[in-house]
């Protein structure tokens, strides 16, 4: 697989078996695993049928390896991971933590690519390289 995703904290690989794997907690405190499709703009989401959350519910995403929350401090409805392309290029990926909201940003330096019908350009273009 050409593209990999890693945790911004521990830099462990988050993708396996063609999906990106997260530990997650819903607003109601339900805990489980969420698998997201690695193709940006593909919003296929997989999880155990007993691990339920509703459209519009904000989900907290954690790295399954180090346990760190992936919520980005600069845009708190978004989670942040790192995408590694084959050529060694690194991108910051921000995706909405709100269930059902299709909004993803791929950022490198001053350049930004937007995916998903709910994404807007309402992102703070200052400090694009400084997501934590």
Which of 16, 66, 85, 90 is the binder for Zn ion (CB under 5 A)? 66
Contacts with Zn ion, 17-56, as mask; x by CB under 5 A: ----------------------------------------
Contacts with Zn ion, 73-112, as mask; x by CB under 5 A: ----------------------------------------
Q: Other CB atoms closer than 10 Å to residue 45's CB: what's the count?
A: 14
70 binds Zn ion (CB under 5 A): no
For 103-109, which contacts have Cβ atoms below 8 Å and span 24 or more sequence positions? 103/78, 104/40, 104/41, 105/78, 106/40, 107/131
Spatial separation of the C-alpha atoms in residues 41 and 45, rounded to whole Å: 12
Residue 93: CB minimum distance to Zn ion, A: 14
> How far does Cα 15 stand from its chain's mean position?
12
Query: Which residue ranges make up the site for Zn ion (CB under 5 A)?
Result: 7, 9-10, 63, 65-66
């Amino acid at each position: 697989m050409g593209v990999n995703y890693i945790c911004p904290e521990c830099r462990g690989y988050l993708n396996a078996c063609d999906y990106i794997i997260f530990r997650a907690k819903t607003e109601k405190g339900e805990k489980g695993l969420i698998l997201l499709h690695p193709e940006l703009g593909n919003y296929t989401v997989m999880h155990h049928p007993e691990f339920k959350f509703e459209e519009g519910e904000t989900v907290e995403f954690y790295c399954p390896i180090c346990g760190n929350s992936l919520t980005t401090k600069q845009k708190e409805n978004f989670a942040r991971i790192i995408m590694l392309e084959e050529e060694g290029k690194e991108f910051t990926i921000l995706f909405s933590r709100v269930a059902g909201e299709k909004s993803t940003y791929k950022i490198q330096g001053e350049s930004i690519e937007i995916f998903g019908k709910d994404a807007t350009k309402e992102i703070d273009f200052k400090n694009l390289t400084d997501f934590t």
